[in-house]
Amino acid sequence: MWGVPMSRLKRSLRATFAGLAVNIVLTAAKFVAGIAGNSHALVADAVESLSDIVSSIIVWRGLVVAAAPPDEDHPYGHGKAEPIAAAVVSTMLLMAASWIIVAAVRGIPGRHSAPAPFTLLVLGAVIVIKETLFRFVRQEADTVQSTAMRTDAWHHRSDAITSLAAAIGISVALLGGKGCEAADDVAAIVAAGVIAWNGLRLLRPAMDELMDTAPSGEVVSQIRRIAQAVPGVEAVEKCLVRKVGYNYFVDIHVEVDPAMTVHRSHEIGHGVKDKIRGQIPAVRDVLVHIEPARKVERKPEG
């Protein structure tokens, strides 16, 4: 069966919708508190949360598209939609960081008053909620092996970090008194740097998947071991693996006795494919190429 298993898709969408709902509420609260409380860092944090909302929508659509089965125009399925969504979200992190830095730098020269104390209460609640959401979404992402969801989880962690930085800046501005008002803007700049770092760090795995970069050596080694253990296989010459969304596609060259009949070598090829797919559920398809063994060392087929 092609496409993403429904249980995995449901878990992915549940985590994404939970993040979307929380972000809508927090973004509104931070915008209101930031404007009313005269905090540039909190307003910048609200903008970062707004990008969280957009990113959650992008991830949601990416997951749905990636789950669609192959069609005439996409014979390998639509799995690439998932890393594309991750790349877009990562790019949004970088754009949000750039906006926050520009806004904070512009605000420093004109800063004349410290933020209101109540903004710290808002930020405290935001930090707890966003860190909890990060842990939940990351756990779900690890369970379903979703690059886009993992990126979305770190978007929540970035939001918690910006809120923490804003809280520190506001505290310095309040406790330091006259001359320390700009600490709010400095905190926003520091937080933006962290956001940008996360954006770059998360962009790489998404681009690797889009470029068909080979997965970890452990995955390839496991596939080679499974194929090598199939009766009739003398050696594994090549094993090429690429990840598409949730799934892996394998191209493998196995060596068999050159005197073997076509029928028998065909059976061995099917055996290799069935064994790999049976033992590694994430492998969606296996293309087996039969090669004549250079040196035949017969193995018992029982």
> Could you write out the DSSP letters of every residue in 193-259?
HHHHHHHHHHHHHHHHHHTT----HHHHHHHHHHHHTSTT--EEEEEEEEEETTEEEEEEEEEE-TT
**In the numeric block, which tokens belong to residue 110?**
């004109």
pLDDT the model gives residue 97: 82
**In the numeric block, which tokens belong to residue 139?**
């756990």
Q: Average the pLDDT over 207-228 and give the result.
A: 85
CA torsion 200-201-207-209 (nearest 10°) is: -170
pLDDT the model gives residue 212: 75
Q: 217 pLDDT band (50/70/90 cuts)?
A: confident
Q: Measured in Å, how far apart are the chain's first and last C-alpha atoms?
A: 30
Where along the chain do its domains lie? 6-210, 217-292
pLDDT in tens, 22-34: 888 888 888 888 8
Contact of 151 with 59, CB cutoff 8 Å: yes
**Protein fold of 217-292:** Alpha-Beta Plaits (3.30.70)
pLDDT in tens, 229-271: 999 999 998 999 988 766 788 999 999 999 889 999 999 999 9
Q: Is residue 48 predicted with pLDDT exceeding 80?
A: no
Measure the CA–CA gap between 145 and 24, rounded to whole angstroms: 26
Q: Average the pLDDT over 182-210 and give the result.
A: 80
The larger pLDDT score, comparing residue 11 to residue 21, is at 21
Percent of the chain with pLDDT over 90: 18
6-210: CATH, from 1.10.760.10, 1.20.1510.10, 3.40.50.2300, 3.40.640.10: 1.20.1510.10
State how far Cα 70 lies from the chain centre.
22
CA torsion 148-149-154-160 (nearest 10°) is: 130
Q: Is residue 296 predicted with pLDDT exceeding 70?
A: no
pLDDT in tens, 281-294: 888 889 999 999 87
**Rounded to the nearest 5°, which phi and psi values hold at 223?**
-65, -40
pLDDT the model gives residue 9: 65
**In the numeric block, which tokens belong to residue 264?**
């028998």
pLDDT the model gives residue 273: 94
**In the numeric block, which tokens belong to residue 234?**
């003398």
Q: What is the CA radius of gyration of the chain?
A: 26
Closest CA to 39 of 149, 113, 143, 94: 113
pLDDT the model gives residue 302: 44
Contact of 110 with 185, CB cutoff 8 Å: no
Cα angle 221, 293, 257; round to 5? 110
pLDDT the model gives residue 211: 80
**In the numeric block, which tokens belong to residue 86?**
């991750």
pLDDT the model gives residue 110: 61
**Rounded to the nearest 5°, which phi and psi values hold at 236?**
-105, 115
pLDDT the model gives residue 4: 47
